[in-house]
């Protein structure tokens, strides 16, 4: 895995921790091409961050800051290493915490929220997390939620006033770009 574009273009990321399924380079490239300038100067949160590749790509492309959240100690260690490798550690904060517990706190508001839960996460749980993102005001008005799911798991429900802007398909992965109201 590598950083696709921006200030850290070409940086090789650390080995993927066991049990982590990162978003492929091809899927990240397509996603960020579709997001265009939406990440420039954005405040980003990367939930279920794994390797941190989504948030690091956003930072490399001009995001102002990124909060990386994962509950696995190995993932948190890899995210820190990847931020150092990409020379972006000064703009990223890493928290080892359960995503649902984090969302119950006042964590501020973000322009882009990456949500890449394990594929085994039931759709009902994903729907609840989306509701918490909306209910807690984590995503700014007109902000975006980027949700990655398996092509076999896509019966989640988005909050009432949100809309799906794009549905991008890459192998067995589907990336949804959801616009917050």
**What percentage of residues in the chain have a pLDDT greater than 90?**
67
Q: pTM of the full predicted structure?
A: 0.93
Contact 113, 47 (CB under 8 A): yes
Residues 6+ apart with CB under 8 A from 132: 100, 103, 104, 138
Looking at residues 129-136, what average pLDDT do you find?
90
- Dihedral angle sign, alpha carbons of residues 142, 147, 152, 155: negative
- Comparing CA positions, the residue from 59, 62, 36, 37 lying closest to residue 49 is 59
Q: Which helix (H) or strand (E) holds 135?
A: helix 123-135
CATH 3.40.50.1820 fits 25-179, yes or no: no
Q: Which helix (H) or strand (E) holds 60?
A: helix 53-60
Task: Supply 25's token pair.
Answer: 């380079």
Q: How far is the C-alpha of 125 from the C-alpha of 107, rounded, in Å?
A: 20
Give residue 154's pLDDT: 67
Average pLDDT across the chain, whole number = 91
- Comparing CA positions, the residue from 156, 66, 166, 67 lying closest to residue 119 is 156
50: number of Cβ within 10 Å: 24
Give residue 47's pLDDT: 96
pLDDT digits (tens, 9 = 90+) for 84-116: 999 999 999 999 999 999 998 888 999 999 999
- Dihedral angle sign, alpha carbons of residues 149, 152, 154, 155: negative
pLDDT digits (tens, 9 = 90+) for 18-72: 777 778 888 889 999 999 999 999 999 999 999 999 999 999 999 999 999 999 9
142: number of Cβ within 10 Å: 10
User: Is the per-residue pLDDT at 140 higher than 70?
Assistant: yes
Give residue 158's pLDDT: 82
Radius of gyration of the chain (CA): 15
């Amino acid at each position: 895995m590598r950083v696709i574009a921006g200030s850290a273009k070409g940086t090789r990321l650390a080995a993927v921790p066991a049990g982590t399924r990162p978003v492929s380079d091809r899927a990240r490239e397509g996603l960020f091409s579709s997001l265009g300038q939406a990440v420039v100067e954005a405040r980003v949160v990367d939930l279920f961050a794994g390797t941190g590749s989504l948030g690091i790509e956003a930072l490399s492309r001009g995001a102002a800051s990124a909060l990386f959240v994962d509950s696995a100690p190995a993932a948190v260690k890899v995210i820190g290493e990847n931020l150092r490798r990409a020379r972006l550690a000064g703009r990223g904060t890493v928290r080892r915490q359960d995503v649902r517990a984090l969302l119950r706190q006042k964590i501020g508001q973000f322009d882009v929220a990456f949500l890449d839960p394990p594929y085994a996460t039931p759709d009902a749980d994903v729907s609840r997390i989306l509701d918490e993102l909306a209910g807690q005001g984590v995503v700014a008005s007109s902000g975006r939620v980027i949700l990655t799911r398996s092509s076999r798991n896509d019966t989640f429900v988005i909050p009432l006033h949100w809309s799906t802007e794009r549905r991008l398909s890459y192998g067995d992965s589907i990336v949804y770009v959801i616009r917050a109201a």
